């Protein structure tokens, strides 16, 4: 179930003074089962881009294909597409509205036309997937903590059993533990259910840790599209567009300048530690 964008341009308010050319000539294929990180500063086109993946925005020009079908050919069932390609917006907990967590998660499947029992089953599965314990299911969503609400909202999308899950900054405003919990759950969904994950993030450390492929957006264009490791190697170019590589990348670069023969490629503390120990051990 690949997502394919062909020569996509998107222009906001094309006919007035607020005209903004938000996406420029985007060509992109995302295959089923990938874990893709999307990064870029505010206004670089990230959010506009992800809203094309499930047909929420119709490109000004160009074509968007899901599973090789053109979704804007006039016959395509867009509602079905949005069940297959689930989008979790920023601060999704603001969209919780039902009286209990369970009912809220049932909302999607109910709209898909499933009967109550099926809805409940789906909701139960989804809530388990995001790691929300059963004692919370009958509570009002508004009694939960920030991290729990976020999980409930993600469960609401998972209950529709999507093939692709897009998350727009799912960890914004969470503390480090809440952040790691959510990202680990997302990784589990990816590994166990083979759901395609598209993660929009401001944190290079996070995409380095989880994503196999990284798309860097700048001024409405794809600036880089490669593995995180290959991209962080070019951290000077990232800085030029207002981004930065993870902190360890800079530690390694500095050490190399001082004559340490360590790999510049380390992306995590673990890798950096191995490199430095190997170097020190050798010279000790």
Site residues, other proteins (CB under 8 A): 41-43, 145-147, 172-178, 202, 205, 242-244, 246-248, 250-251, 254-255, 258-260, 269-270, 272-273, 276-277, 280, 283
Contact 199, 207 (CB under 8 A): yes
Nearest distance from C-beta of residue 203 to other proteins, angstroms: 9
Distance CA 199, CA 211 (A): 8
Nearest distance from C-beta of residue 175 to other proteins, angstroms: 4
Nearest distance from C-beta of residue 127 to other proteins, angstroms: 20
Of 64 and 101, which has the nearer Cβ to other proteins? 101
Of 113 and 281, which has the nearer Cβ to other proteins? 281
Nearest distance from C-beta of residue 73 to other proteins, angstroms: 36
Q: Cβ neighbours of residue 205 under 8 Å, at least 6 residues apart?
A: 246, 247
Q: 240: burial class by Cβ within 10 Å (0-12, 13-18, 19+)?
A: exposed
What DSSP letter does each residue of 210-274 carry, written as one string? H-SEEEEEETTEEEEEE-HHHHHTTHHHHHHTT----HHHHHHHHHHHTT----TT--SHHHHHH
Distance CA 171, CA 150 (A): 8
Taking each helix axis from N to C end, the angle separating 247-257 and 269-283, rounded to the nearest 10 degrees, works out to 20
Of 75 and 257, which has the nearer Cβ to other proteins? 257
Number of neighbours of residue 165 by Cβ within 10 angstroms: 22
Q: With helix as H, strand as E and coil as C, how does 53-80 read?
A: HCCCCCCCEEEEEECCEECCCCCCCHHH
Of 63 and 279, which has the nearer Cβ to other proteins? 279
Nearest distance from C-beta of residue 55 to other proteins, angstroms: 26
Of 103 and 179, which has the nearer Cβ to other proteins? 179
Of 67 and 143, which has the nearer Cβ to other proteins? 143
Nearest distance from C-beta of residue 277 to other proteins, angstroms: 6
Of 121 and 237, which has the nearer Cβ to other proteins? 237
Nearest distance from C-beta of residue 278 to other proteins, angstroms: 11
């Amino acid at each position: 179930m690949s997502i394919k964008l062909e020569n996509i341009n998107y222009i906001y308010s094309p006919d007035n003074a607020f005209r903004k050319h938000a996406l420029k000539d985007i060509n992109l294929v995302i295959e089923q089962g990938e874990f893709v990180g999307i990064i870029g500063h505010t206004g670089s086109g990230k959010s506009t881009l992800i809203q094309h993946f499930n047909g929420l925005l119709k490109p000004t020009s160009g074509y968007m294909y899901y599973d090789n079908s053109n979704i804007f050919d006039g016959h395509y069932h867009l509602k079905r597409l949005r069940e297959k390609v689930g989008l979790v917006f920023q601060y999704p907990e603001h969209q919780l509205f039902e009286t209990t967590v369970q009912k809220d998660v049932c909302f999607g499947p109910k709209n898909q036309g499933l009967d109550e029992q099926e809805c409940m089953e789906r909701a139960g599965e989804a809530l388990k997937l995001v790691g929300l314990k059963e004692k919370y299911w009958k509570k009002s969503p508004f009694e939960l903590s920030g991290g729990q609400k976020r999980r409930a909202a993600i469960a609401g999308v998972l209950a529709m059993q999507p093939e692709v899950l897009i998350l727009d900054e799912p960890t914004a405003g969470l503390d480090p533990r809440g952040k790691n919990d959510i990202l680990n759950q997302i990784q589990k969904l990816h590994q166990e259910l083979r759901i395609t994950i598209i993660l929009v993030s401001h944190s290079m450390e996070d995409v380095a840790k989880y994503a196999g492929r990284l798309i860097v957006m700048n001024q409405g264009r794809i600036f880089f599209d490669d593995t995180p490791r290959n991209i962080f190697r070019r951290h000077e170019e990232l800085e030029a567009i207002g981004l930065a590589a993870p902190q360890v990348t800079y530690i390694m670069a500095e050490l190399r300048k001082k004559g340490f023969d360590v790999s510049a490629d380390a992306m995590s503390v673990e890798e950096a530690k191995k490199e430095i120990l190997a170097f020190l051990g050798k010279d000790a």
